[in-house]
Amino acid sequence: MAGEHILIVDDEPAIRSTLRGVLEDEGYRVSSVGGGADALRFFADELPDLTFLDIWMDRMDGLETLAEIKRARPEAIVVMISGHGTIETAVKATRLGAYDFVEKPLSLEKILVTVSRALEHARLERENAALRASLEQRTEIIGESAAIRALRDQIATAAPTNGRVLIHGENGSGKELVARAIHVQSARHERPFVEVNCAAIPEELIESELFGHEKGAFTGALARRRGKFEMADGGTLFLDEIGDMSLKTQAKVLRSLEEQAFERVGGKDTLRVDVRVIAASNRDLAGLIREGRFREDLFYRLNVIPIEVPALRTRKDDIPAHVSHFIAQFCAENGKRIKTLSSEALGYFLAYDWPGNVRELRNMLERLVIMAPGDVIAADDLPAPLRPKEAAAAGEARERSLKDARDSFERAYILAELRINDWNVTRTAERLGIERSHLYRKLKAYNINPPKRDT
Ligand SMILES: Nc1ncnc2c1ncn2[C@@H]1O[C@H](COP(=O)(O)OP(=O)(O)OP(=O)(O)O)[C@@H](O)[C@H]1O
Ligand SMILES: [Mg+2]
């Protein structure tokens, strides 16, 4: 706790030195000034963790000073020192954003309690702000391709409703990210987002996981336990990998959705909750229904708002944006200077099909940020399967002919150069060392069109 910086603003030298003595004895760092103008000069350079501010001072009034401080530094924590504690000034100061009061004559004890309370308050505020920021960052959806814009629109439309959402998409394409984004943009965002991965929980445990159990409901149920439906009350329940749920569990989930009610395993009481369900699957649920492995009625219950998350290979224009985002993130996390990807390396990124989607891209960049020796990640740094050469060396079956491989690489390479040169064809042709007309023919052959910059 000690070591925090406290500013004292008071025109009475005796008060300044008393307060300073008390606070320094407790290990705080103390600065003091004798008036409002000096206080404002102080705040121009520094933000103390806590400020004591006298209400009555010559020249500049304490309330006026408080207003100015709060205007410059809304996050400043200010405790007023009041001589004649009238209700009126107290109310005014509170409106202006004062955190607390101490009255003259100053009580040592009261001062120290006030200080530690105010500093604790400031610490919690900072923690909250950091949590909010990291939560928002975790739901940031990157990309400007038409597919991603449409996805963002769908999320914005679905979020404010209570409609059940069924998200479909390949592995690592961003299904959970979409579910979180819907929750964060909904009226439920201050209530819990609770996730259940149906594929990761053994069949015998899934019911208790979802609905909870009473003490003694089965061997090992030593105490009553709340289930995920209960924990998500008022918020969102994310049922991930829904296609992996057994028919028996599906029946129970169906009932709880229909009635918004359920019983704990081994319990008699019927519990009612207010839960919005978002489900996700990477499997073909229609196929599972045909095979009799997924209940059609449950499917229709869950599939009120269907959302399809596009595979990364269908929106390759977004790859450069993902690359710079992840590079910045991993360089920061690993305390490294920002690296860049050479344009040849980016060409390989664009040529590759990313069967593991954004997760695969993310893992690849984390690995490269850590492993690549220089500031520039070069084509030589890329492992298989990004570099077709190495993939072939590794004996991977490649159905593509040499020409297909070359074409797809050339297309990706040209695309990367175009982006780097802001779609300026003349400049790109120069960089590639070919005639402009030649580049135009290539663009046509590879069906490369500049992005539309409207909407
Ligand atoms: N459009 C996007 N913008 C930014 N990050 C993304 C995007 N899509 C996915 N990601 C990131 O990729 C990783 C995988 O995403 P997520 O876990 O949501 O995928 P998933 O479809 O649920 O995967 P799985 O099928 O394996 O469960 C996460 O780190 C996520 O933040
Ligand atoms: Mg997932």
Ligand nearest to the CA of 180: 1
Tell me the pTM.
Answer: 0.64
Pocket residues: Cβ below 6 A from ligand 1: 141-143, 169, 171-177, 282, 358-359, 362
Ligand nearest to the CA of 358: 1
Residue bearing the CA closest to ligand 1, atom 9: 174
Q: What is the pLDDT confidence band of residue 131, given thresholds at 50, 70 and 90?
A: confident
List of domains in the chain: 5-135 (3.40.50.2300), 146-310 (3.40.50.300), 313-445 (1.10.8.60)
Q: What is the pLDDT confidence band of residue 187, given thresholds at 50, 70 and 90?
A: very high
Asked if 359 and 171 count as a contact pair (C-beta separation under 8 A), the reply is yes
By mean pLDDT, which of 83-87, 123-127, 203-207 is the weakest? 83-87
Asked if 35 and 59 count as a contact pair (C-beta separation under 8 A), the reply is yes
CA distance 132 to 138: 10
pLDDT: is 29 or 125 the higher one? 29
Task: Give the pLDDT of residue 123.
Answer: 83
Using CB atoms within 10 A of its CB, is residue 437 exposed (0-12), middle (13-18) or buried (19+)? Answer: exposed
pLDDT mean over 102-108:
86
CA distance 347 to 420: 11
Q: Using alpha carbons, list the distances in angstroms from residue 363 to 215, 321, 359, 433.
A: 42, 15, 6, 34
Of 409, 171, 142, 118, residue with least CA distance to 280: 171
Question: Residue 435 above 70 pLDDT?
Answer: yes
CA distance 200 to 166: 19
Task: Give the pLDDT of residue 389.
Answer: 56
Tokens of 258: 């229909």
b/e 130-143 (16+ beta carbons within 10 angstroms → b): eeeeeeeeebeeeb
Tokens 């695969």 identify what position? Answer: 360
pLDDT, tens digit (0-9, with 9 covering 90-100), for 398-415: 445 667 767 777 887 888
**Atom nearest to 169 CA in ligand 1:** 21
pLDDT mean over 441-448:
87
Ligand 1 center to residue 138 CA distance, Å? Answer: 10
Ligand 2 center to residue 41 CA distance, Å? Answer: 52
Q: Inter-axis angle of helices 343-351 and 319-333, to 10 degrees?
A: 120
pLDDT, tens digit (0-9, with 9 covering 90-100), for 322-334: 999 999 888 887 7
